[in-house]
């Protein structure tokens, strides 16, 4: 699970380009899997390895999900602003 968490966390970064939505899903999944795997590794008393992978997985998942959320909010805000400004006549039409 630690490797899966790390792979999903890394995959969240290129997914930001798809309006941020896949990055949020991949990042949250990586975050959850990383924390579960880190807990299992700590509870095993040294029998299981991969603590660094699990920690890197949940950190990359957290950063990827955060950046995806910021980008998604920016995109939605820009669309709302464009629709509002276009319909209210705040910005004049550039056509002569």
Whether 65 and 12 have beta carbons less than 8 Å apart is answered as yes
Burial class (CB in 10 A: 0-12, 13-18, 19+), 17: exposed
pLDDT by residue for the chain (96 residues), tens only, comes to: 999 999 999 999 999 999 899 999 999 999 999 999 999 999 998 899 999 999 999 999 999 999 999 999 999 999 998 888 767 767 666 766
């Amino acid at each position: 699970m630690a490797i899966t968490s790390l792979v999903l966390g890394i995959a969240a970064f290129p997914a930001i380009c798809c309006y941020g939505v896949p990055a949020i899903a991949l990042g949250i999944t990586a975050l959850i899997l990383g924390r579960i795997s880190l807990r299992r590794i700590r509870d095993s008393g040294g029998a299981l390895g991969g603590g660094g992978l699990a920690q890197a997985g949940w950190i990359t998942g957290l950063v990827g999900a955060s950046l995806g959320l910021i980008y998604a909010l920016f995109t939605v805000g820009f669309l709302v602003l464009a629709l509002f400004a276009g319909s209210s006549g705040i910005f004049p039409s550039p056509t002569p």
